[in-house]
Amino acid sequence: MLWLFRYSIGYLYIVIKGEYNENVLNLCAKNRITLWNSRLHKKDIETCISVNDFKKLRTIIRGSKVRLHILKKVGLPFKIQKSRNRSGLLVGFIILALFLKIMSGYIWVIDVSGNKKISEKEILSACRQIGITEGIRAKNINPKTDREHLLLKCNSLSWASLNIEGCRLTVNVTEIGKLPENEESATNLKANTDGIIKKIDVTLGNCVVKVGDTVKKGDLLVSGISETLGGTKFTRSLGEIYAETTREYKLSKTYKQKIISPTGETKQKQVLEFFTLKIPLYLGKETKNYNSELKQKNYTLFSKTLPIRIYTREFQFINEYTLTYEKDQLKEQLQKELEQKIKDNKINSYKTLKTDYLETEESISLTALISAEENIAVSEKLLTAN
């Protein structure tokens, strides 16, 4: 918002010419004269300066060999000079100036920088919990204290800073880094379920089981530690160990089930947020059943984010009704769900040992005992003492 304030009071785009014109920069710093967007063009210095600071600078360099030339006048005051006979425009400008003066003491835009894995939404939520929101007075923010509170709220952050520039607050963060997973680090292979070993295919590691052994979930199958003539060797175990397993699945479904189906009808409703004021751009409430999705659109001016947003909620209307299934239909549903659960366990070939149905007035329960030959080896990092 600093650029908007400067535009409202007006500023000059000038060029500094003459011998040793770089000394002007030191004079400006010494006399607290603010310059911005400075650049070197050939041997001249082009920069932006406020009208008052320009007058002060002109007095300071008087008698020197340095000259100032105005290249461009920027801002509302210079535009108003062309319409000085329009009193309404002048009154409007005065009101705008007062409005900006009051509003410049508040934070209207909060940016988050430096986050990669943690979402901006999560960090802004933590800021709200410690009392930092859009619309807070800038003087109520204590960067040193509030950054500590933010770190306590977000355990995933290792560092944070709060920088205030005009009406904008930038929250700079650094996330706690995780040590990269070393692909060559030592690992064991352990059993992820009970079973009887049927096939072993180990390419790396010290296999500690043999075909025919019975293992339980969590038992060691392949060790990443082996003893050689040169001493102890640590290896990343690789391989597949197939075992005959027996799994029990329990499923249940009711005769009466709630069915939800989309009607195809959609509607959008919007809310305008101006600073912290939210203005609904619609009338009435939705009485039908629906699913909804909220989208947010920010507006910018001259590549600067404005404290103006449009929230759009899209409604997808649905029908809800209760459907009563027959016994055979319910059993078919249970069978399909059982097949899906077996597929989720990455079991391609299996044999059903036992199937039991328990029927009540309201539901049917299925208990199935499945026998399969599957790879039960899962990798586990080997912890070693340094």
- For residues 8 and 75, membership in a common domain is answered with yes
pLDDT of 274 reads 78
Q: What is the mean pLDDT of the chain?
A: 85
pTM of the model: 0.44
| pLDDT per residue as tens digits for the range 91-115 | 777 787 787 777 778 888 888 888 8
Q: Tell me, yes or no, whether 290 and 312 share the same domain.
A: yes
pLDDT at 216: 93
Q: Are residues 281 and 305 in the same domain?
A: yes
Q: What is the pLDDT of residues 327-381, one digit of tens each?
A: 999 999 999 999 998 888 878 788 888 999 999 999 999 999 999 988 999 988 8
pLDDT, residue 180, reads 44
Domain co-membership, 114 together with 167: yes
Which structural domain range is residue 288 located in? 260-319
Q: Are residues 158 and 120 in the same domain?
A: yes
* Residue 386 predicted with pLDDT over 80: no
Burial of 205 (0-12, 13-18, 19+ CB in 10 A): buried
Give the DSSP letter of residue 181. P
Going by pLDDT thresholds of 50, 70 and 90, the confidence category of residue 181 is very low
Q: Which of 175, 196, 218 is the last residue of a domain?
A: 175
Whether 286 is in a domain gets the answer yes
* Any domain includes 85: no
Q: How far apart are CA 23 and CA 15, in angstroms?
A: 14
Give the pLDDT band (50/70/90) at residue 89: low
pLDDT confidence of residue 240: 92
Number of independent structural domains in the chain: 5
Per-residue confidence band for 284, with pLDDT thresholds at 50, 70 and 90? confident
CA angle 199, 201, 205 (to 5 degrees): 130
Q: Kindly state whether residues 240 and 304 are assigned to the same domain.
A: no
Domain boundary among 132, 151, 175: 175
The verdict on residue 301 lying in a domain is yes
**Per-residue pLDDT, 182:** 45
Domain boundary among 64, 80, 96: 80
Residue 180 lies in a domain: no
Is the predicted pLDDT of residue 384 greater than 70, yes or no? no
User: Is 166 a domain residue?
Assistant: yes
What is the rounded distance in angstroms from the CA atom of residue 73 to the CA atom of residue 75?
Answer: 7
Q: Is the pLDDT of residue 200 over 80?
A: yes
Q: How far apart are CA 346 and CA 374, in angstroms?
A: 8
Spatial separation of the C-alpha atoms in residues 93 and 98, rounded to whole Å: 9
Sheet with 377-381: list strands edge to edge: 206-207, 220-223, 187-191, 377-381
Assigned domain for 155 exists: yes
Question: 212 and 197: one domain?
Answer: yes
pLDDT digits (tens, 9 = 90+) for 58-83: 888 887 888 889 998 888 888 777 66
Q: Is residue 120 part of a domain?
A: yes
Is residue 303 over pLDDT 80? no
pLDDT in the model for residue 334: 92
Report how far apart the first and last C-alpha atoms of the chain are (Å, whole number): 54
Q: Is residue 103 part of a domain?
A: no
335/315 same-domain check = no
